[in-house]
């Protein structure tokens, strides 16, 4: 027998004792398809227990999102050894996968997790919730806005770099910009300072017309 709170219409427990008495409560026979683990999906309407499909969908969504988070966490953790390998190879100067490559993959997993969680929350029925599959898609892979200092400087030709260095010796603003680049751990291609500096090089004729767009391309 199910114990029903008559004020809220909610199931608050169960008892095998048909003579059980509790103030503000009544006993009700459990429906054939009743599962105590899903008791929050049932309401007493004054006559019968009625299943609430919206509550059922909400429960299934919570379960599915928990699974997605767990899958994402497991995949991210599984890449830890690749980060360690990439770090060691970079220190040794050995060719191979870079740390940034692995970090981008981990970020794609996080984005895929967020995307699929949103899809689950937007689903209107149980079938739609269950149809949401967790997988990393091309759209989940971010385009890095930050590259290493070396990668950035390598975007200039030898002739452009020579002209840049020569001009920096007589132009304090260019010298300051060049020093910032030399000491930067990484370069944000969308940073206003980075963009302004490269565009200034083009205006000054140090790099060719249209080259600023190419150098700043992500």
More confident residue, 115 or 149: 115
How far apart are the C-alpha atoms of 125 and 138, rounded to whole Å? 27
More confident residue, 112 or 148: 112
Give the lowest-confidence range in 19-23, 76-80, 113-117, 201-205: 19-23
Instruction: Check whether 182 has a pLDDT greater than 90.
Output: no
Determine the pLDDT at residue 207: 95
SS (H, E, C) the chain: CEEEECCCCCEEEECCCCCCCCCCEEEECCCCCCCHHHHHHEEECCCCEEECHHHHHHHHHHHHHHHHHHHHHHHHHHCHHHHHHHHHHHHHCCCCCCHHHHHHHHHHHHHHHHHHHHHHHHCCCHHHHHHCCCCCCHHHCCCCCEEEHHHHHCCCCHHHHHHHHHHHCCCHHHHHHHHHHHHCCEEECCCHHHHHHHHHHHHCCCCCCCHHHHHHCC
Q: What percent of the chain lies above the pLDDT cut of 90?
A: 52
What's the mean pLDDT when you consider all of the chain?
Answer: 90
Determine the pLDDT at residue 138: 92
Instruction: Check whether 144 has a pLDDT greater than 90.
Output: no
How far apart are the C-alpha atoms of 28 and 144, rounded to whole Å? 60
* pTM of the predicted structure, to 2 decimals: 0.61
- Give the residue extent of every domain in the chain: 2-51, 55-140, 146-216
pLDDT grade for 52, boundaries at 50, 70 and 90: confident
pLDDT grade for 208, boundaries at 50, 70 and 90: very high
Determine the pLDDT at residue 98: 87
Instruction: Check whether 70 has a pLDDT greater than 90.
Output: yes
Determine the pLDDT at residue 122: 95
Task: Give pLDDT tens digits for 99-132.
Answer: 888 999 999 999 999 999 999 999 998 899 999 9
């Amino acid at each position: 027998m199910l114990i029903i709170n008559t004020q809220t219409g909610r199931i608050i427990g169960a008892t095998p004792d048909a003579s059980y008495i509790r103030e503000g409560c009544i006993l009700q026979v459990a429906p054939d398809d009743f599962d105590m683990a899903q008791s929050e999906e049932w309401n007493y309407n004054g006559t019968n227990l009625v299943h609430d499909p919206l509550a059922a969908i909400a429960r299934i969504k919570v379960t599915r999102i928990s699974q997605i988070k767990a899958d994402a966490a497991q995949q991210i953790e599984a890449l830890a050894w690749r980060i360690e390998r990439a770090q060691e190879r970079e220190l040794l100067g050995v060719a191979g996968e870079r740390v940034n490559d692995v970090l981008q993959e981990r970020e794609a997993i996080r984005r895929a997790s967020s995307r699929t969680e949103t899809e689950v929350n937007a689903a209107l029925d149980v079938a739609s919730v269950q149809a949401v599959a967790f997988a990393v898609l091309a759209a989940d892979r971010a385009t890095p806005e930050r590259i290493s200092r070396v990668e950035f400087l390598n975007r200039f030709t030898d002739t452009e770099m020579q002209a840049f260095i020569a001009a920096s010796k007589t132009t304090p603003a260019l010298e300051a910009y060049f020093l910032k680049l030399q000491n930067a751990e990484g370069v944000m291609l969308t940073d206003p300072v980075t963009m302004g500096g490269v565009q200034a090089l083009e205006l000054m004729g140090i790099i060719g017309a249209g080259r600023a767009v190419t150098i700043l391309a992500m």
